[in-house]
Amino acid sequence: MRRHRKIKIVATLGPASSDKATIRALWEAGADVFRLNMSHGTHETIAALHGHIRDVEAEIGRPIAILADLQGPKLRVGVFANTAVDLEEGQAFRLDLSAEPGDGTRVQLPHPEIFAALEAGTTLLVNDGKIRLRVEACGADFADCTVTVGGTISNRKGVNVPDVVLPLAALSEKDRRDLEFACRLGVDWLALSFVQRPEDVLEARELAQGRAAILSKIEKPAAVKAYDSILAVSDGIMVARGDLGVECPVQAVPPVQKRLVRGARAAAKPVIVATQMLESMIESPMPTRAEVSDVATAIYEGADAVMLSAESAAGQYPVEAVRTMNNVAIEVEGDPTYREIIEASRKVQRRTVADGIVSAAREIAETTEIRAICCFTQSGTTAALVARERPRVPILALTPLTRTARQLCLTWGAHCVIVDPQERFKGAVLAAAKAARDDGFAATSDQIVVTAGVPFNVQGTTNILRVAPCDERLITRSEA
């Protein structure tokens, strides 16, 4: 029941993976976290998927994380009298608030807040950047543009505005309803789309009221610029390369990805690399070599998780896609170069007692015959700090809280075990030794490192470390 890799796999559920049997097959193939896309499906459909996941979780006896991905504000043009028109480079084209069907000279853009933020020279991207418009003149209800890249524009195509921070809340009314529904349902993570500023995250956090952790999707240039402040108020990060690749020059995406991953690692917050990782497996049972290299790059960078979107939600080979990602991860993590890169990119953090404890735990584990680092945690912070060290040995995250165990399923290397609450450190050591033996991480003759905070059941008190045997008789004898 243990994974033989450290990076986690997020699989999106959809029409191709909506029944319980397929969800279980996805978990058995390697999925650690299931993503529910709130852009698609009714609340009834989402609730059914949630129920199937929890049923699988109960059957296998292992915690599973559920991530609800909020749609975010969608900016779209209106409709055309003839469904679509062709725009040619150099021609004039107007966007306005009129609800009249569009033609070859104009179309509705029903978002007055966009017009309020525009200025001459602003670039507008339509249909994932396939069409580009340059604003020449604008007012409260119009924007006169020149087509700089032509193409076919049709009903309700999406619009991106990369040059400005739009006066839009990250949460639409639909998102607010979906957030409350997802929290009541009992999801573990909420992914917030189109974040532009830290205030967007704080708004979602206030609405969630601690019922789910908040993961910020970085997909706009404004979010990249404000990354440090957004990261500070987020529980996790998603490198959402889809819209990021539309609004930023495509050549800028790889260095941005590296910066975002390293920043999240340093902050001990999980980071997901997402979008088009195994895109060809929507229709093919085998990925391209470039896609395999893309997944491998995220693993070498030390990301906490890699994500499948349409591959597992709507593709013809959802289970094969997860299995492929799992196999790539095992192969990469077995490469000696992987350890060299991970350790070279490690930034030692020793500002607090907890930092020192987890750093010492890793050094002890890697210089002696230690089989695992076992950390007792209430909020998950201790396990996240241990994971930041990217140790060579397995991490057992022991917690009495089911929600914490589920949330930690997104954290690099964390094997989550739900245990009884402990009042004394001796009990914690005994529970750690049992978990290490039961889940195949150590034998009775082996040793483990145990970290915890005393007094127990108080968050943020990681202050103790012990090298302990896995033999309960030796633990009891040493405490006598």
Which is catalytic among the residues 123, 275, 381, 451? Answer: 275
The reply to whether 243 falls in a domain is: yes
Residues near 405 by beta carbon (within 8 Å), at least 6 away in sequence: 63, 397, 399, 416, 417, 418
Given a cut of 90, whether residue 8 has pLDDT beyond it is yes
Given a cut of 90, whether residue 113 has pLDDT beyond it is no
Alpha carbons 375 and 388: distance in angstroms, whole number: 13
DSSP for 140-160, written as a single string: TTEEEEEEEE-EEEETT-BEE
Which is catalytic among the residues 5, 6, 8, 35? Answer: 35
Domain boundary among 128, 160, 192: 160
Cis bond leading into 254, ω under 30°? no
Q: Determine which helix (DSSP H) or strand (DSSP E) holds 404, and give its type and residue range.
A: helix 402-407
Residues 177 and 119 in one domain: no
Q: What is the CATH number of the domain that holds 221?
A: 3.20.20.60
pLDDT class of 351 with cuts at 50, 70, 90: confident
Output 198 or 457, whichever has higher pLDDT: 198
For tokens 């890697």, name the residue: 366
Domain boundary among 160, 181, 196: 160
Residues 260 and 182 in one domain: yes
Q: What is the pLDDT of residue 167?
A: 83
Residues 184 and 322 in one domain: yes
Q: What is the CATH number of the domain that holds 148?
A: 2.40.33.10
- SS3 sequence, 409-448? HHCCCEEEEECCCCCCHHHHHHHHHHHHHHCCCCCCCCEE
Residue 216 three-state SS: strand
Which is catalytic among the residues 3, 76, 174, 176? Answer: 76
Q: What is the pLDDT of residue 239?
A: 98
Catalytic, 426? Answer: no
Choose the weakest-confidence range: 72-81, 274-283, 346-355: 346-355
The reply to whether 340 falls in a domain is: no
Residues 308 and 277 in one domain: yes
Alpha carbons 129 and 108: distance in angstroms, whole number: 18
Given a cut of 70, whether residue 479 has pLDDT beyond it is no
Q: Which amino acid is at 109?
A: L
- SS3 sequence, 298-326? HHHHCCCEEEECHHHHCCCCHHHHHHHHH
pLDDT class of 453 with cuts at 50, 70, 90: confident
Q: Which of 72, 69, 70 lies closest to 168, judged by CA?
A: 72
Residues 39 and 18 in one domain: yes
Q: What mean pLDDT comes out for the span 148-159?
A: 94
Alpha carbons 379 and 349: distance in angstroms, whole number: 20
The reply to whether 1 falls in a domain is: no
Q: Determine which helix (DSSP H) or strand (DSSP E) holds 297, and give its type and residue range.
A: helix 289-301
User: Phi and psi for 210 in degrees, rounded to 5?
Assistant: 80, 5
Query: Is the Cβ–Cβ distance between 301 and 259 less than 8 Å?
Result: no
Residues 382 and 433 in one domain: yes
State which residues form the domain around 439: 353-479
Catalytic, 76? Answer: yes
Which is catalytic among the residues 106, 157, 217, 406? Answer: 217
Residues 389 and 241 in one domain: no
Q: What is the pLDDT of residue 247?
A: 87
The reply to whether 3 falls in a domain is: no
Given a cut of 70, whether residue 478 has pLDDT beyond it is no
Residues 181 and 282 in one domain: yes
The reply to whether 79 falls in a domain is: no
pLDDT more than 70, % of the chain: 98
Q: What is the pLDDT of residue 480?
A: 47
Residues 269 and 385 in one domain: no
Q: What mean pLDDT comes out for the span 103-123?
A: 93
Catalytic, 2? Answer: no
Residues 449 and 418 in one domain: yes
Residues 191 and 134 in one domain: no
Residues 185 and 39 in one domain: yes
Catalytic, 217? Answer: yes
* Total count of residues recorded for the chain: 480
Q: What is the CATH number of the domain that holds 397?
A: 3.40.1380.20
Alpha carbons 67 and 78: distance in angstroms, whole number: 31
Domain count within the chain: 3
What are the pLDDT digits (tens) for 192-251? 999 999 999 999 999 999 999 999 999 999 999 999 999 999 999 999 998 898 888 899
- DSSP 8-state class, residue 328: H
The reply to whether 348 falls in a domain is: no
